[in-house]
Structure 1
Amino acid sequence: MLNRTKNFFKTTILGGVIVILPTIILIFAFKWLFGVVGGGIQPLTNLVVDNLTLPDRYDELIATAIVLCVIVLGCFMVGLFVRTRIGRWIYNGFESSLLSKAPGYKMVKETVNQFLGKKQSPFSSVALVQIFENDTKVTAFITDQHANGTVTVFVPTGPNPTSGFIYHLNEKYVHPVDVAVEDAMRSVISCGAGSGALINSMKKD
């Protein structure tokens, strides 16, 4: 019992770290960008602040607003350029040769895509599957269904759900459960902690 409780806390904390870490990296990256842009356009912000007849307490707020506007405008211009054929080609080459090798880049990119709703899940639904054709069941995501009754599923490895195994199973070994993909993914990241919804849904079937 003690070991089970200890393992529960350990895996839950680990899962939380894996979820929070990309967000922390993103915050630090934005803070760094804000500092670089702020330092680069400081003469401009000083000029604007000095020529405004507002109380001194608004100086920092105005300077911050100018920096944020420059960052947003810069992101817009870069995004506009990347939408062109040449810009996309340059970005893809830059990403594959340099950015993809930078530590934490993949996590930051996935986090940004998640926040913006651009990251589409290839998983249609969640299931408990019997990959060994016995009573052992594992968490899986249904990725495709075939006319001959075969179901293709992806079984992720915890706590890193980006790796796993692909199985093509007879539909009788696949038991769909009424659980959101996000909730199932959260339990995988937590090494199984919080799998009650999966088990309870299976019992109802």
Structure 2
Amino acid sequence: MPIKKYLLAGLLVWTPLAITVWVLTWLVGVMDGIFIDTLSKFRPLVSQDTVTSMRNMTGLGVILVLLVLLVTGALASNVLGKWLVRQWDKLFTNIPIVKSIYASVKKVSDTLFSSNGNAFRQALLVQYPHAGMWTIAFQTGTPVGEVASKLTGEHLSVYVPTTPNPTSGFFLLVPRSDVIELDLSVDEALTYVISMGAVSPSAPAINEKRK
């Protein structure tokens, strides 16, 4: 029936947009709520009228977070800023319990966000969960230290995301010879994973790699 066809076509157009808007609205609301709650703790330095007026300004929390990140990044890029960051690191790495959490999170963030790092910059095909079955993975680095010394041959550290939620997954150490590099961007590969294979960004490239 034409009506059913048109309804499905309309859903295909509006569903991604509606979900995207919903997620962005939720994120803005969370940031705004955190900012207002933080601002409320500075009473009586901040009047109730100021808090109320800012509560009605949607997106203020997002703007302030971006400004703080930009200012912090600018300060951390000069000599004085780098010195202050080192002192900050020394402070937190000398506090019991806190140092374990801070050091671990810092290593992960440095790996993921460093412009010189390789984490999540290469999409791969790996055999998982057993030989003969292939899935999308992302290179996160290479094994070093004791882990590398226990392995025979060159290996890669890879992350295999789950679908449709790629924020959870599995960490694997895979022989480089068993890995197939893909001519896909990380965004294209993630789209392929999240869509459970329904959206194939570049099937010919995958087939060519597997030959």
TM-score normalised per structure 2: 0.46
Greater RCO (Cα-Cα under 8 Å, separation 6 or more): 1
Decide which structure has greater helix share: 1
